[in-house]
Chains A and B, each alone.
Chain A
Amino acid sequence: MKYLFYPGCSMDASALEYKTSMLAVFKALGAEVQELDDWTCCGASIAPVISDLLGLAMPARNLAIAERTDGGNPLVVGCSACFTNFGRVHAAASDSAVLAKINKVLGVENLTYQHKAQARHMLDVLANDFGLDAIKARVKRPLTNLKVAPYYGCQTVRPYATFDDAQHPTSMARILEALGATVQHHSHEATCCGTALLTTKPHTGFEIVGQILDAASGADCIAAVCPMCHMKLDSYQDKVSGVLGKQIRIPILFLPQLIGLAFDLPEDTLLLKREVVPVTPVLTRLASATGKTSEVSKTSEV
C-alpha cells in the first residue's frame, strides 16, 4: 500500500511524536508513505472566519499538490482539523462555480484543484485499509492489563467522516482491543476538547477538558488521534485540576504510540518522553505484565 501524507503544522512541531510514531506503524504494517511536497497550512478553523474563499483555497492548495503528485495515491492526514478542511473543500467544490473561484486563487501558485483528491484520516486507514487482523498479527507485546480510554474528539468523526459513526464511533476501540488492551469506555469519547477556547476563554476551556478527563479518569491512559485534542488534554492538566477542584493526572498518548508499544517499535520513533504528563505509569504497567523494562520507564521525570 502506498500513501501520500499531509502532516499539517502541528504534526511537524508540537505533535512530532504523532508523526514519527504514525510513520513507524505504517512502515511496520508494510505501507510506503511519501510526504506531500511544499505543503502549507490547511487554514485550520481560522481561514473560513477570515474569508469564505480563503477558507476553501487554503486546503485546496494542498489537494491540488496531491493531485499533481505521481501515483495518485490516497492522501492520509493525522490531524482532524486538517481532515475536516479537506472534507469541507471537497464538498463545497461539487459546485462548479465554487471550484472555478478556488482555481482563480490557486492560479497565483500555478496550481489547479481538479476536485479529485480526497483526504483519509489515519484512523480510517488503520481500521479499514490495514485492518484489525493485520494489526493483531504484528503485535509482539500485547497491551495486557492496560486500561485505555479512547478519545476521538469531534472533527475526527464529524461531519465529513464516512468511516465511523459521527456520535458513537467504535474504530479506535476495536484497534485497542486488537492490541490486547482493555478498552475503558466513557461518556466523552466524541466530544470536543475546546481547542482555541483554552487560550481565548480559558475557564470555559478548562471546564470542557475537565469533563473529558474526569469521564476517562478510571483508565491508565487516554488514546488520542488529533494533535489538537492531545495538546489540550495533555498540557493543561494542572490548570484543569484547579478548575475541577480535584487533582487529575492521566497520561495522553497518540494511538500510534500505543500501537508502536504493542509492536515493540524503538523509542526513537515513539518519542514517549515528549508528553507533558509523563507516560511512565503506562510503561511500568506494561513492564509488569511482560517482565520487560523499557528505556523510558528507567528515565527520571523532568
Chain B
Amino acid sequence: MTSSEVINLTEVKRDSTFADHLTPAGHLLRTCIQCGTCTASCPSATAMDITPRQMWRMVVLGLEDEVLRSKTIWLCSVCYQCHVRCPRGIPLTETIAKLKQTAIRKGIKEWRESTNFYKTFSDVMRRYGRMREMEFMARYFLTTNPLAALGFANMGLTMFMRGKIHPEIPQLTGEGRLDKMFQRVAELEGWQ
C-alpha cells in the first residue's frame, strides 16, 4: 500500500463494521471530514506509507487488512497532537493503540521490529512489575535484530559508564510479579 495507490472498492474485501469496533473513537470516526489536520500535526507523517487522514478514511471504508498491515500505525508515538487538534473531537491517538492491538492479536507478520517491542516490554512488565531497561533492550534486540544492537553499542556503553543503566540477572522462571493480574485480564477479556 502506498499513499498514491488507487483502491477499487468493488474488488477488495471490506468489513463495514471495522470502525465501530475501534475504541474509543468507534462510530465517531464516521464524522471525520477529511480535513487532514491529523496528517499536518503528525511528527512521523512523512515516514508513513499511508497518511493519517488516508488511514482514517480507509478505516471507515472497512479496509481492515490494508490498515492493519500498514507501517502507519507503528509510527504513531502517542503524542496526542492529532487528538487535541481534531476539529471533530475524535480521540484518534488512543484509537491507534486499538489498531496496534488488533494487528498484534491477528498475528500480522509485518513490522516485527515494532510488534516485538510491545510483546517484549509487556513480558518484562508482567515478570518484574517494573521495567528493567537493560534486560528489555537485550531481549528486544536478540529476538528482533541482533546486528542492529551493534549500532547502539557505543551509546549503551556511555550510558553504562554514566551509571544510567545497570545489568541485572534475569529471572526467567517462576511466578512473575504481575502474573495474577495478567491472567485475570485474559480471563475477563477472553484472550490468552
Contact = CB atoms under 8 A, between A and B. Distances in A.
Given A10-B131, A41-B131, A201 B47 contact: yes
B130 A275 contact: no
B3 to A, nearest CB: 16
Looking at chain B's contact residues, the main secondary structure is helix
A52 B129 contact: no
Looking at A50, A61, A158, the one whose CB has the most chain B CB atoms below 10 A away is A50
B79 A154 contact: yes
Looking at chain A's contact residues, the main secondary structure is helix
A276 interface: yes
B183 to A, nearest CB: 8
B77 A194 contact: yes
Contact of A41 (B84, B130, B182): B130
B54 interface: no
A197 B74 CA distance: 9
A40 B79 contact: no
Contacts of A211: 43
Given A40-B130, A200-B74, A14 B184 contact: no
A108 interface: yes
A106 B84 CA distance: 31
A5 B178 CA distance: 21
Interface stretch (B7-15, B27-35, B61-69, B117-125): B117-125
Given A53-B188, A108-B181, A236-B155, A196 B77 contact: yes
Contacts of B163: 16, 274
A109 interface: yes
Interface string A22-59: 00000000000000000011011111111111110110
B117 A200 contact: yes
A257 to B, nearest CB: 14
Interface string B64-104: 00000000001101111101110000000110011011001
Interface of A: 9-10, 12-14, 16, 40-41, 43-55, 57-58, 61, 84, 88, 101, 104-109, 154-155, 158-159, 166-167, 191-197, 199-204, 207-208, 211, 235-236, 238-239, 273-276, 302
